[in-house]
Structure 1
Amino acid sequence: MKNLGFLSFGHWTPSPHSQTRSASDVLLQSIDLAVAAEELGVDGAYYRVHHFARQLASPFPLLAAVGAKTSRIEIGTGVIDMRYENPLYFAEDAGAADLIAEGRLQLGISRGSPEQAVEGWRHFGYQPAEGESDADMGRRHTEVALQVLSGQGFAEPNPRPMFPNPPGLLRLEPHSEGLRQRIWWGAGSDATARWAASRGMNLMSSTLKDDETGEAFHIQQAKQIQAFREEWAKHDHGFEPRVSVSRSILPIVSDQDRAYFLGQRDSQDQIGMIDEKTRAIFGRSFTAEPDVLVEELAKDEAVQAADTVLVTVPNQLGVDYNAHILESLMEHVAKPLGWK
């Protein structure tokens, strides 16, 4: 059994060739695609968060709207950059959106990746403490968010409050019970996967990670998953973790598919530098007829090791075409692989 979800970066551009020509277009179509995906039986609707870009950015209004329009599908992020987040506002917004969705949020967070703006988090009012890197700051924000999401009181009540307080220290409200167990960490290395396990977060691994062994991407990612599970077993978090991997999977089943994607066959892993120090490996895309995809994905060690697969969608092609992709995946790829 595997959960199958879509992951949208929410690109928009004023180009006449795009179905999402404005921020309004991409937000409204993101909601519509989640509704369509739920009707098809897809398990999850996930959204990328990028600041200072013509993409989806502020996640919680969108998550709340999707939660109000759907009833079953999981709703998540992949991922929220915690360098930009006030952890207490994060926890309040997350609690409210999860209550609207009746407990269906699956929040992927991380310390962030290279962004559009130089040190963009500074414009949001944050900067690393002395001796910290920006990555350290993102993890510090995460630690605080995890603590307050637990629902424990920590704030001293005013002896003369405007409204009566419950007894004891005050916690953040609204609190959504169980949300703390539905936080995922987007890990870029084996070490950060182990860190996530030690903190009791689920693992979200994308199509990019540090090139740590020189092996094929899916093999390195499978080893990352193994490292995460080994570390998890050393702790008593009180629940079983989940693991997701992201893939670009495009079944070619129609003339329209061939027109859009035929030139993307034979994709290979790629090596690149994501900053001055980090050599990374980028996982290949899967674009082929369904029988070929089934054979190739059956050999993907990380896909086999994960319980959730998030498939990136070309959102600028519009809701109807992306729903067609999801339907093709469900019928011609997931079903033959035994994922449902």
Structure 2
Amino acid sequence: MKKLGFLSFGHWSPDRGSQVRSASDVLLQSIELAEAAEELGFDGAYFRVHHFAQQLASPFPLLSAVGARTSTIEIGTGVIDMRYENPLYMIENAGAADLISGGRLQLGISRGSPEQVIEGWRYFGYQPADGETDQDMARRHTEVFLNQLEGKGFAQPNPRPMFPNPPGLLRLEPHSDGLRDRIWWGSASNATAEWAAKQGMNLQSSTLKVDESGEPFHVQQAKQIRVYRDAWKDAGHIRTPRVSVSRSIFALMNDTDRMYFGRGKESDQIGSIDNFRAVFGRGYADEPDKLVEELRKDEAIAEADTLLLTVPNMLGVDYNVHVMESILTHVAPALGWR
């Protein structure tokens, strides 16, 4: 059995053909899509976070709204860029969203992806300390976030507070028990996957990674997952970690599907991201029986316990429900995912 979720990049555009024409549209349709996914039997609703773009940005109002309108589906991010985050304020937001959802938050965080603007985190009031890179700053913010998420008191109480304090040092509120175990790190390399394991975070691996061997993307990603699990074991953590991979997968069921995605077999692509040679994984689109054959060969999907399906959110809720239902009905059972 494999957990299945969707991952929305949350685009909106007033261009002709878009069913998501404004920021209001993308927020409201994201909630509707999560509700529909829950009704279908999907396990997770995940959302990307990008600043300075016509995409979903501040995640916690959306996550809280989804949590209030659903009852069983996991809600998460993939990923929040920690260069932009005040880790203490983020703890309060995350705790509130998790409590509203009844403990269903699965929070993906990372250093983030290439940005729309130059060093956008500086506009949010953050900058690396002397000798730090922006990657170092993201990890520093993450370590503060993880440490204080444990819920231990650290702040000296006012001797004359407005309201009575509990004894001892004060922690951030609201605190949500168990949330620390539901933090994921979005990793694009073997080294950062190993670091995430040492920190006790679950692993999110997307559709690109640093090209470390020249092998096909899915082979490198499967090796990354094994490196992560070995590091987790060596770190001595007690619980079993979770690992997700993301894929674009479309079953061609009708002429509309073929018009959008029936372009023939894709292949991995090589490119550059943040001055690294990167390999971008292929998408999958085919008739259901052929799709099953292709997906059986994907080593990383086989290694992961959670698969996030990237959805074309600008095609609207109804079409994306069709996409998800096609996978759930015609593909997942044949692969043993359901």
Q: Does 1:315 align with 2:316?
A: no
Instruction: Give the Cα separation in 2 of the matches to 1:149 and 1:236.
Output: 20
Counterpart in the other structure of 2:107: 107
Residues 190-209 of structure 1 aligned to structure 2 (within 5 Å): 190-209=190-209
Partner of 2:128: 128
AA aligned opposite 1:103: G
The CA distance in 2 between the partners of 1:168 and 1:290, in whole Å, is 60
C-alpha displacement of 1:227: 0.3
Give the equivalent residue in structure 1 for 2:289.
291
Which aligned pairs between 1:149-164 and structure 2 lie closer than 5 A? 149-164=149-164
**Letter paired with 1:20:** V
Q: Give the drift of 1:236.
A: 2.9
What secondary structure, in the 3-state scheme, does the structure 2 residue paired with 1:114 have?
Answer: coil
TM-score (norm 1): 0.99
Please report how far the alpha carbon of residue 293 of structure 1 lies from its aligned counterpart in structure 2 after TM superposition: 1.1
> What TM-score does the superposition give when structure 2 sets the normalisation length?
0.99
Q: Aligned partner of 1:225: which letter?
A: I
Q: Which runs of structure 2 are paired with 1:1-340 in the superposition (5 Å)? A: 1-263=1-263, 265-275=264-274, 277-340=275-338
AA matched with 1:303: I
- Listed one character per residue, the Cα deviations across residues 245-274 of structure 1 (whole Å, up to 9, x for unaligned) are 0000011011211122112x2110001011
Shift of 1:151: 0.6
Q: 1:82 Cα shift?
A: 0.2
Unaligned ranges ≥5, structure 1: none
> Secondary structure in 2 aligned to 1:324?
helix
CA displacement at 1:112 relative to structure 2: 1.2
- Separation of aligned partners in 1, 2:149 and 2:78: 19
Structure 2: 5+ residue runs without aligned partners?
A: none
Find the aligned partners of 1:2 and 1:204 in 2 and give their Cα distance. Answer: 15
Distance 1:72 1:308 in 2: 16
Cα deviations across residues 281-303 of structure 1 (Å, max 9, x unaligned)?
00000011111111111110000
How far does residue 238 in structure 1 lie from its aligned partner after superposition?
Answer: 3.0
CA distance in 1, matches of 2:41, 2:270: 35
- What secondary structure, in the 3-state scheme, does the structure 1 residue paired with 2:234 have? coil
